Structure 1
Amino acid sequence: MDRSTETLAAYAHELRLEDIPQDVLHSAKSKLIDALGCAMGGYDTELCRITRAMAAASTGTPAARVLGSQTPTTPQMAAFANGTMVHALDFNDVYMSQSTCHPSDALSGILATADALGASGSALLTATVLSYEASCNFADAIAREQGLDNTFYCLVGSALGSAKLMGLGVDQLQNTIALAVVPNVALEQTRTGALSMWKNSAGANAARNAVFAAEAARAGITGPDAPIEGKWGLWNNLGLRFEWAPFGGDGTPYRISQTNLKRYPAVAHAQSPITAALQLRDSISVADIDAIVIESYWVARRFEDPRSPLWRPATHETAGNSIPYLVAVALADGDVTEASFGPDRLADPRLKALIEKTTVRENASFNALYPQEWPCRIEATLKSGEKRVAETRYFKGHTKSPLSDAEVQAKFRQLASPVLAEADIAEILARLWELQEEDDIRPVLRLFRADRR
């Protein structure tokens, strides 16, 4: 194998629970709670009903469960169905560096493996921290918008987390990486043009393939040599060489603690614009707006083409990635929620009128601040000629403006209450905050039952 693969496998093999500081483990619990809340929030979407039906058609020994329905299926299909729920609302966490990833996309594969194995809470926490280290190191190393979809990063993270739960040795971990990387390079076309249901399924598919890679390596299948540095490996296919940044531990911060949570169910780049729009709304009447100028960092380039579907979103997925649409909703409704993406809202002439008044511009000075800051400035010109401005540097949920434990719990309750019984929600939260005390994760996962609501 190549040096990059060997280095990653060695880190995965050597990571131990006792090496991970308590504050990092607490962050891991917070990210698990957030992801599982997002899964319950996505439970009743059309996309998730489809993927649950797909999972129900498969059986496996040992089985893993689909959260909510508790349907037994294969670990691979549990990873797919549960992962689709995690990302269905685009409400799960985000890590920003050279490029972006949603590291909790990896968790459905790890949870499915833990469910099938009856793994302990401590083992699950270790696998979770490992997964974030691997996934996010890709985002540190690889530049954005080079054609590789960021779900690929979580594929490798989920595969290593699953393999760690299986207790695989160094050679098998190297094979797991090779079996994840070579067959499963994903294209960023997933996030281009009019966005489809696949956009919110892509991370789940990565988790499904991750479980397969770990299972195959455990069974004894060897993977292609030099998957990263080889002649037709990742380096040459991307046209770039990269080096791993130092992994968490021995004084280096763990990336799970540097991952941001979302306050609004929308693309990460819209979190600051929504925040600024809501600040602006407090001082103006929407009926008085004559023009809106949104200034952001390089992401503004995505809105240069007025013919882009992002200016006329017709699907939930496209609207959730449209900064003009999301700012219009924030100004009109005073919030952005799961209800902001229904057919009636997408067709609302008031929102379309606000979008027609909107311009999105790149601010070069903001580029210099990103990704340490996520700046946005919105200027509204009123019909009177008066101008009102709102500006933000960090959205709520950013690591420099983090959600408190109480706010993480409130988000979980908000998303899970339509699906789960209140008593189950209370017990789930209590047990997840003390996850290291669980000898077997399965009793906690059994509490995710939609039929007890």
Structure 2
Amino acid sequence: MKSMPDVAEVPAQDGQLAGKEGGKLTAELANFAVETKGSDIPKKALETAKILVLDTVGVALAAAPLPVGRIITQYALDAGGSPVATILGGGAKATALMAALANGTLSNALDFNESSHIATHTLPAVLAVAEQNGLSGRDVLEAFAIGFETGIRITQAFDGARTRNGGPTYRGWWHVGVLGPLAATIAVSRLLRLDAQRTAMAIGIASCSVGGFRRNMGTMAKAMHSGNAASAGIQAALLANRGFTADPAIMESPLGFLSTLCQSGERDDAAISQRLGRPYALADKPRIKPFPSCAMSHQGIDAALAIRAQAPFEVEDIETIEADLHLFSLLRPDAPSEDAAGFSAAYLISAALVEGSIGVEQLGPPVLHDPRIRALMKRVKQVPGREREYGPEQLTVRLKNGKVLSVEIDSMRNLTTTDDIERKYRACATRVVSESAAEELRDLILGLDRLPNLDRLMLLAGGSPRAERPHS
């Protein structure tokens, strides 16, 4: 990528954007989207991008039959308009804006997606626009990789203080609703080949859709942050392409994105000005979740499963369970619904001890209302947790006979092997499509860079009966 000119002295030329004096962050993002050649994106990043596409499509399909999936799908279809983009698992098409809304919501509904959540808004936006315009799989892959990279760096720029238990996250903002419209917009702008000036304008337009509060965790509205972001990304890029205006330096300017969200000492401009594409975040291993729940619950689940395997005992033998319940993130302790179950440490730990696993099936009825799990939840006690969000975590089970079982889990576990990732994908996808359709869809996604268009891929991902090949 070319180095940025001194924008205080050099005017914009040939479609390149010059930002305002004192900061060039919006210009950096726009020029990165426009100037980055496909050959500049590391092969490892593109391979990881395919894995994230596979994982995201899988978890979206798993959510399609759930109440949140049925509601958002029907809403998108009822909106009318030209049916040009497929709703995952919906068996039908809607407008690009509505398909992105539905697919973003589906991708985030189970909280089973990759841990950054960036794929849940950037990918649905890109898929909808690419399908509508007959663009290639390579176009999709590059735009997604660009959008993901900018999403990671924007997050670091405004929410880096989260690692110190501070910043916008700890004031109640949810980063998905904050960065999502911007990352999705950048990805779509790349896909539509907007120049840098219009891409910067699109970023400014997308800022009108920024927002979202952590209080909606454990509800259907939580997933809609991704749906809104995906739809807003398309809207902003299309408006900018028509000449709609916004502040072209929204990221760095006073009263803009960073200055409004961040307090003194919180913003990290270098995340964009120095680390954007240096290296690509996708060049690292993807953070593929093993459980359909908020990541802060995963060490507790793993500890519960380890204790269950440690020694034979009946659930009725348990006197108390001691754990850090992470009530800041896991704020639905009673788990009254499918949407809330993934945000209740007491429920997830109890279900793991009773069921011996945590998957999509454990989040809904009949498991959700199992009286053994409900009784065990009342015996889960909060103990003082670690000072930071991440680190070792201990779970202790005290039995009525005086025996104490305790396990410490050092860190959150991700799925890393191809077998584990594809096993998760198959379990999710086959909740909607046949095994043969799931396998063909997998092959198309992993060969995305060779597809001339998305027609067959989206037909399969839509769950349409027309996608099934006749038996020979």
TM-score of Structure 1 vs Structure 2, range by shorter chain: 0.7 to 0.9
**Which moved further from structure 2: 256-265 or 378-387?**
256-265
TM-score normalised to the size of structure 2?
0.85
CA distance in 1, matches of 2:171, 2:337: 25
Q: Which moved more, 1:42-51 or 1:374-383?
A: 374-383
Give the equivalent residue in structure 2 for 1:306. Answer: none
Mapping 1:375-386, distance limit 5 Å: 375-386=392-403
Aligned residue number for residue 138 of structure 1: 154
Hey, what does 2:430 align to over in structure 1?
Answer: 417
Q: For 1:244 and 1:362, how far apart are their aligned partners in 2? A: 35
Q: 2: CA distance between counterparts of 1:337 and 1:446?
A: 26
* Paired position in structure 2 for 1:257: 284
In the other structure, the counterpart of 1:11 is 32
Q: 1:88 to 1:7 in 2, by over 3 A?
A: same
1:323-368 Cα deviation digits (max 9, x unpaired): 111111101110112222225434333223222221233433x62x
Shift in Å, 1:32:
0.2
2:352 aligned residue: 330
DSSP 3-state at the match of 1:388 = strand
CA distance in 1, matches of 2:133, 2:281: 26
How many Å separate the matches in 1 of 2:63 and 2:113?
A: 11
Tell me the distance in 2 between the aligned counterparts of 1:120 and 1:92.
24
Greater alpha carbon shift after TM alignment, 139-148 vs 121-130: 139-148
**1:347 equivalent in alignment to 2:373:** no
Matched letter for residue 173 of structure 2 = L
What's the counterpart of residue 222 of structure 2? 199
Letter of the 1:319 partner, please give it.
A
For residue 92 of structure 1, give the secondary structure of its aligned residue in structure 2: coil
* Cross-structure match for 1:98: none
Give 2:12's aligned residue. none
The change in CA–CA distance for 1:410 and 1:343 in structure 2 (over 3 A counts) is: closer
Residues 1:171 and 1:225: Cα distance change in structure 2 (over 3 Å)? closer
Q: Distance in 2 between matches of 1:110 and 1:375?
A: 37
Q: Say if 1:176 and 1:214, in contact at 8 Å, map to a contact too.
A: yes
> Does 2:194 correspond to 1:168?
yes
With over 3 angstroms needed to count, the CA separation of the structure-2 counterparts of 1:409 and 1:108, relative to structure 1, is same
Match of 2:92 in 1: 71
> How many angstroms apart in 2 are the aligned matches of 1:103 and 1:68?
17
CA 1:33/1:231 → structure 2, altered by over 3 Å: closer, same or farther? same
Q: Which of 129, 138, 155 matches 2:181?
A: 155
Q: What letter matches 2:242 in structure 1?
A: A
Structure 2: distance between partners of 1:238 and 1:131: 21
In 2, the alpha carbon distance for the partners of 1:349 and 1:438 equals 50
Change over 3 Å in CA distance of 1:347–1:414 after alignment to 2: closer
For structure 2, the 5+ residue unaligned runs are 1-18, 160-166
Partners of 1:147 and 1:300 lie apart in 2 by: 13
Residue in 1 that maps onto 2:320 = 291
What code does the residue aligned with 1:127 have?
A: A
Matched, 1:179 2:205: yes
Following superposition, the deviation at residue 85 of structure 1 comes to 1.6
Q: Does 1:116 align with 2:132?
A: yes
- The superposition leaves residues 412-437 of structure 1 with CA deviations (integer Å, 9 ceiling, x where unpaired) of 11111131122222211112111111
Q: Which residue of structure 1 lines up, in the alignment, with residue 451 of structure 2?
A: 438
Q: Distance in 2 between matches of 1:126 and 1:160?
A: 12
- Whether 2:309 is the aligned partner of 1:282: answer yes
- Contact 1:84 1:204 survives alignment (8 Å): yes
Q: Aligned match of 2:337 in 315, 320, 336?
A: 315
1:43 and 2:59 are equivalent in the alignment: no
1:438, distance to aligned residue in structure 2 (A): 0.9
User: Using the alignment, how far apart are the partners of 1:173 and 1:10 within structure 2?
Assistant: 8
What is the SS of the residue equivalent to 2:383?
Answer: strand
Matched to 2:243, the amino acid is G
- Distance (whole Å) between structure 2 residues aligned to residue 39 and residue 290 of structure 1: 38
Alignment of 1:217-296 (within 5 A): 217-240=240-263, 241-245=267-271, 246-247=274-275, 249-250=277-278, 252-255=279-282, 257-284=284-311, 285=313, 286-295=315-324
Partners of 2:104 and 2:462 in 1: CA distance: 17
Q: What SS does the corresponding residue of 1:310 show, helix, strand or coil?
A: coil
| One-letter amino acid of the structure 2 residue matched with residue 79 of structure 1 | A
Structure 1 residue 378 displacement after superposition: 0.6
**One-letter amino acid matched to 1:203:** S
State the SS of the aligned residue for 1:67: coil
State the Cα deviation string for residues 192-248 of structure 1 (Å, max 9, x = none).
6xx431112221111111110111111221113432233321233224343141445
Query: How has the CA–CA distance of structure 1 residues 317 and 375 changed in structure 2, closer, same or farther, with 3 Å as cutoff?
Result: farther
Question: Which deviations, in whole Å up to 9, do the C-alpha atoms of 1:379-424 show, x marking residues without a partner?
Answer: 1111122211112223442xxxx43122222111111113112222
Conservation of the 8 A alpha-carbon contact between 1:247 and 1:254: no
Structure 1 residues 381 and 35, CA, compared in 2 at 3 Å: closer, same or farther?
same
Structure 1 unaligned runs (5+)? Answer: 96-100, 304-308
Contact 2:48 2:282 (8 Å CA) reproduced: no
Counterpart for residue 13 of structure 2: none
Residue 259 of structure 1 deviates from its aligned partner by: 4.0
Q: Deviations over 1:150-188 (max 9, x none)?
A: 12212211111111100010001101110111x112131
**Alpha carbons 1:109, 1:211 under 8 Å: kept:** yes
One-letter code of the match for 1:272? Answer: Q
Query: Conserved in 1, the CA contact under 8 Å of 2:172 and 2:215?
Result: no
- Per the alignment, residue 215 of structure 1 pairs with 238
Runs of 4+ aligned residues of structure 1 deviating over 6 Å after TM superposition are: none
Give, as a single letter, the amino acid of the residue that structure 1 aligns with 2:345. I
Label 1:271 to 1:113 Cα distance change in 2 as closer, same or farther (>3 A): same
Amino acid at match of 1:235: L
Match of 1:439, SS state, is coil
Shift of 1:102: 4.4
